[in-house]
Structure 1
Amino acid sequence: MRGPDRSRATRSASRVPGTGESLRRTGRIALLIGVSTLGSFAPLASVAHAADWPMVQGTEPPNAPPIRPFGVVQVTGSGIIAEPVFGLSPVLAQFEGERASFNTLSPRGATWGIVVRRARPGVRGVIPGTGGLVSYYLVAELGTVPLARDGPTLADASITISWIPGARIRVGQFRLPLMDEAVESNASAAEWINVSLPASGLVMENPVRNGRYDGGASGFRDLGVAVFDTHQRGHMALSYALMVSNGRRGALDDDAKDLTARTMASWVFSGEATDPQRQELSIFAWGQRGKRNVDGVSAQRIRSGVGIHLEKEPIRIRAELVYASGVIFGGPSPPFAGQPIEVDTFGRGIGGYVQARVRLFGNARVGARYDELRRGLDEPSATRVSRSFTPMLEYDIVPRVRLQATYEKRWLFAPSATRDTKTIARSMGDRVDAQVTVSF
């Protein structure tokens, strides 16, 4: 039994601007990346949405100062409206009257509360004496997100070298070139308080060993080296990113490496490559391949996706589709506190979402998102379908202080599962969140 807990995920390890020539050359590279495969945040004075995020994260203008501190704090209040599970068979009778893990906010069973979700101090700048061609980016996470499951941690630590035209190089720990939600490197850019079902269930990694968490979540980050750049001529822009990484944030535990690539083509209404508020219509594709060891079993982990987004004030629309094969993280099974965490070693999953936002007036915006996730596709009895519909409201009190509120209407289905599994699935409750974000 599995549910779409946004801080977890579900299934069993036992189941096996340049010259014309430069633009054309970069275009061929980006096209090859797209066919072959199918930043933490910037200190912004207002909400950023559409952007070429690999460029925004850690790429500084030549005249930038050598030290520029920045940061963000997010305080979040959450509540889940759900009832305990009743009507279980003798096999699961020990869980009678308990709440399923996807209906709680913590392993201890809390259903509402307030936390400092993110507290991220950082510093960035240009290395003196390099002519503005070498920059750095450093961010810590002191909050309570899964990235910091084991306590305060280093979120980002990267150096970007811009010596080679058309091929910037970034080394260190930073965001992978994955789906749009993953590359958004500004905490103020997210229009929804919780990431979508495919982002949390298929793309975000949570290391597990012997049925227990083995460190913090990836936060869509890894340690490695990337080659990337973007070129814009008139209204047309083309970007690419290719990254080789360890396969686990901050760890060097084997010789297997991940290969991740992303390409994006954009029609830019206004704004430059490093503008985090760029008005654009973009299509993008990405892919990732690597190996993981799941309790002694070696498995391929493959992820890929395509998407489109439009940012043209006063509207913002985005849709993405994600495919996953192998090492799909699943959460406790059965889904109650203290139970072993499962990983579907060789299974497949697919998910997607569509969302839209419109500015009502001034600093107020409203929107809605529909997302869906299907896992365990190789076995009808193991197939789980998670869906949610989430209206949202956000308001900028001042340029650096934003209020958000979301209401997630959630459903979980297990079409061919046991009676107990269906009983637990029907207990899925709705979730309410409110959040204040302060950037500095």
Structure 2
Amino acid sequence: MAPHVRPMPGAVVAVVLGVVVALAVSTALPTGRAQAAAGPAWGVVASSCTAASVAANRAVGLTVVEVEAYWDRYMPARAGAVDAGYVADLRARVTRCLDAGLRVVLGPGMQYPPAWVRALPGAALVDQRGRTAATGALDTVFSAAVRSAQADYLKRLLTDLPAARIEAVRLGTSTEGEIGYPGPNAAHDGFLQSWWAFSPAAQQGTGLAAGAVRTPMPGWVPGQRTWQGRPVTAAAARAWFGWYSRSLTSAIKGQYDALRAARFTGQVHLPAPGRGVLPADLTAAANALLNGTGDRDGSLGRGLDYVDQFPVLARSVPRLVVDLSGVDDASAVLARRQSPAQDACRSTDPAASVAAGTPVHLWSNLRFARAQATRAGLPAVGENPGPPAAQTGGTPDSDTLAEQVRRAPGYARSCGLSALLVAFEWALDDPRWGVTRDDYRRAVLGGP
């Protein structure tokens, strides 16, 4: 769904409670005015693609599903050795969804590495204190060994699956399958401001991945006022952060290159959490030499700077689509309480979002991040956080899943998203969360 998109069927007709409803789907996932006219496609995250789920999704007019693979189940023992039973099951499920006319986005599940990958030399991310992430985050950014293992896995995965029929593959660097380094307190010791670029690869270039660049200031720790006996300037601190955040884009480009080497020609989806650091906050952070000032939501340590990263990725990763994972997240709840409300996207947002004096801190994550994607010329899809109590991305301040499903389609339309994928299919099948596929259908189409 990037500037160049793969043609899709002109329309899908779904039977909804005995009523035939035509859901218009353009011949490509469009952008701009054409996208607004066509409207988003509707789907779900983490589809099981069982016969029952396929029937249930088609019955309410859903047209796109995300299907998740698991690296640790695919290659549990060693590189090149696969679990044939798991591979056959995954292939059957993906094929079942495709044969039913559902468009498939593949999550390769690189956030679930097998034990033998975790044991590779230099596999763990390391922060400035020499700590590793308690979440088990791998160094997908700087480690040549990890990147090579990822590339081998992607090649095998796309060889074993009907890759030519898969619409898109998701890429990411984090344990959530999104772009970013680990978040605050990832070492689980109460320390909030970790910077995950202190491995031998990142600092000395030992075992550095192809395309990655080692630190421009070896040994310098954010917050320190001097480096090699000289004062550190705000410009130098900002340049260091630019290297840190752009290293993520280099990692995504490396994964993209692995896809293309495996002859995958479809779209690339980049799940992007939150909104990234705001321009004024980055200036304040650099002026304070990255000592923690301005890190409003953990975006600095996670290396998220969409204002800069999205244009870089638009140039280096063809057919890229940004997957905004904060549709009706907790920030939307706060933004719509403002007067006037600041949650919905507006046509003036791309320019206003980077203009001095715009109160973007009051905007929802979706609104600000969508503006950056538009500035970069990138189309976007979206997904909601999911049930707050299930620890899938929601917080105690988030809407309930039922409320997310009710509100998310409106946000998808106002922000010109090409598709909205509700998180998660399993939640729509579980009465504990108080929402069903019919509720999703009513939110999209209206009526009883």
Same fold, judged at TM 0.5 (above): no
Q: Relative contact order (alpha carbons < 8 A, sep ≥ 6): 1 or 2 greater?
A: 1
TM-score by length of 1: 0.28
Q: Which has the higher helix share?
A: 2
Q: Which has the higher strand share?
A: 1
TM-score by length of 2: 0.27
